[in-house]
Amino acid sequence: MTVTDPRAPGAYLDHAATTPMSSAALEAYVAEASRTGNASSLHSAGRSARRTVEESRETVAAALDARPSEVIFTGGGTESDNLAVKGIFWGRRTQDSRRRRVLISAVEHHAVLDPAFWLAGHAGAEITLLDVDDEGRIDLDALKAELANAPEEIALVSVMWANNEVGTVQPIREVVRLAHQQGIPVHTDAIQAVGQVEVGFAASGVDALTVTGHKLGGPVGVGALLARRDLPLEAVSHGGGQERGVRSGTLDGAAIAAFAVALQDAVTHRAERAERLAALRDALVDGVRAVVPDAVLRGPDPAATTSSGGPARLPANAHFTFPGAEGDSLLYLLDSAGVQASTGSACQAGVPQPSHVLLAMGVDEADARGALRFSLGATSTRDDVDRLLEALPQVADRARAAGLVSTRPLTGGAA
């Protein structure tokens, strides 16, 4: 697969945020965008657009071990997560008004956390955050205890397949096994996992799964929620009744076609790409530890495996904290040196906040503020890693010096 270069020059190490469109996906997008037709129209142009959508649905289903009828196209990951969390909650609550509890891991993306807490504020939901260990892995004993506590009141469980910040792969099949023993559906946000580790909808047993296009070499603004046909799922948006009546709106045929192409390619070449990226990731980790010895790798050891033998950490993820430095300072200084990365932390109302993921893992607030996430993708090369390692020592020193200045008490002068 060939890809377009990232927009800005330098080393792009933020593929977990978004990755460039592949040439095949871009070609599919342009070809479909040049045609006219609403997939809901009955004339020949509409039927042609519908055929593109349905063929793409079959491609997505085949790539993710699902039935085509289980694929609901959306405008991306956030919409899919909202549809899953709110839609399953309302669907289950309609069946049984006692079902008000929602169990989610404490390290979920805000696209899951925020709709869950919105339900708490607007729909009477009771949210339980499930503990994780110091590597960001869900505590299965804590989950089991919560599931045994009035299971008739639980609407759903949502646990991400792999964490977007520290790369921890979660024991999804164990989560499903425990939840299904109590008859409770499971949603998983698999946005970071698809294309990096093996993801199968049917094989995992999950009831709903989120995936999006722009993490895979597809366009921004398109994704899917995979949902079992018998899953109680209420609509979040209403209108024309498209997508099983739970996601109304005119379908973006061009984006859907490009998404399907990118997803198929990512899954088809997953094993070989993961091997290459893991080797590059390991070189990055070893290099950072060599040039900044007190940097702390967060999340599982790169060599660790899960109980099923798969990687315990995403192959394209490396997440560090740098003692005495602020993540924002590190980010801006690296950017000035031509290296683009991410702090992996939320920024609300212009005020940097320590990552909720790191705090849930037991990292203290001061250390959590010094976080940087480096994430690799199809365009990543050893030159990108070398450019980071060349710039990082001076960047870390300058960021620490800036931190010392900012915490030094003011003396003299009028207030």
> Which tens digit of pLDDT belongs to each residue from 33-70?
999 999 999 999 999 999 999 999 999 999 999 999 99
Expressed in percent and rounded to 5, the helix, strand and coil fractions of the chain are 45, 15, 40
φ, ψ of residue 200 to 5 degrees: the values are -130, 125
Read off the tokens for 290: 């060599």
Name which of 155, 203, 197 is nearest 179 in CA terms: 155
258 backbone φψ class: left, alpha, beta (φ>0; ψ -120 to 50): alpha
Is 126 in contact with 146 (CB distance < 8 Å)? no
**Residue 194 — pLDDT band, cuts 50, 70, 90?**
very high
Distance CA 136, CA 388 (A): 26
**Residue 403 — pLDDT band, cuts 50, 70, 90?**
confident
Read off the tokens for 207: 């009831």
Would you state the pLDDT for residue 308? 85
Burial class (CB in 10 A: 0-12, 13-18, 19+), 203: exposed
Per-residue pLDDT reduced to its tens digit, 104-134: 999 999 999 999 999 999 999 999 999 999 9
pLDDT over 60 (residue 1): no
Would you state the pLDDT for residue 351? 55
Would you state the pLDDT for residue 404? 65
CATH 3.90.1150.10 region(s) of the chain?
11-18+270-404
pLDDT over 60 (residue 175): yes
138-147 contacts: CB < 8 A, separation 24 or more?
Answer: 138/105, 138/170, 138/171, 138/175, 140/171, 140/174, 140/175, 140/178, 143/103, 143/175, 143/178, 143/179, 144/178, 146/103, 147/103, 147/178, 147/179, 147/181, 147/182, 147/184
Distance CA 379, CA 16 (A): 13
Distance CA 350, CA 348 (A): 5
Over residues 211-218, the mean pLDDT reads 98
CB count, 10 Å around CB of 65?
16
DSSP character for 5? P
Would you state the pLDDT for residue 193? 98
Catalytic residue among 347, 366, 401, 404: 347
347 is catalytic: yes
Would you state the pLDDT for residue 346? 45
Judge if pTM exceeds 0.85: yes
3-state secondary structure of 388: helix
Over residues 218-239, the mean pLDDT reads 97
CATH 3.40.640.10 region(s) of the chain?
23-267
Would you state the pLDDT for residue 9? 62
Would you state the pLDDT for residue 345? 52
Would you state the pLDDT for residue 119? 98
Is 69 in contact with 224 (CB distance < 8 Å)? no
Percentage of residues of the chain with pLDDT beyond 70 = 93
Percentage of residues of the chain with pLDDT beyond 90 = 91
Fold (topology level) of 23-267: Aspartate Aminotransferase; domain 2 (3.40.640)
Fold (topology level) of 11-18+270-404: Aspartate Aminotransferase, domain 1 (3.90.1150)
Helix axes 327-336, 382-407, angle to 10 degrees: 130
